[in-house]
Structure 1
Amino acid sequence: MAFKYFIGDDVYTISGAEVEYNLQSGLAPKNKVMTRLNFGVGHEVKPNLFLELGYKPGIGTASPNVLQGPVFNSRNSFSLKAKF
């Protein structure tokens, strides 16, 4: 779930939570699903072309509702997305 707030006609901020699934085979199944916070900014380049820069701080934990136990994720990550 994400919230968009338009600052101008073509610039917006993004914030919300997301579920992330880690595909590394060495992890136990309960450590693969994490709920993370996501913050970012976006720009509408053309009517159907968006560029987004995101940041996920390393404060997420695994979702106890999805799999068995909480796991602390200390990795910060950045993303650059193009949507069209």
Structure 2
Amino acid sequence: MSTEPNDDLIRDEVSPVQPSVEEVDAEVRAKLTGQSVSAVAQQAEDAYATIGVRLTGEQLADYADAVSTGAAFDIVQAVERSS
């Protein structure tokens, strides 16, 4: 039996993996689809801020509307344009 530390465990503890834009989008959609645009906008803005992503006001409004109604929205492209 090895007494060496598990490198994967150490790496995860020291530097946790930050969620991707796609993962945040999936979580936002799972929790907020069908809710009001204003509720989606506020919570989505907060969720994306946790990974350092800020959408423009127009992008946030369009995204919130899409999430609210269950419509498609290319969040990755929107984030790339605002970078």
Query: Does TM, scored on the shorter chain, surpass 0.5?
Result: no
TM range (shorter): under 0.3
Higher relative contact order (CA 8 A, sep 6+): 2
Q: Which has the higher helix share?
A: 2
TM-score, reference length from structure 2: 0.27
So what's the TM-score if we normalise by structure 1? 0.27
Structure with the higher fraction of residues in strand conformation: 1
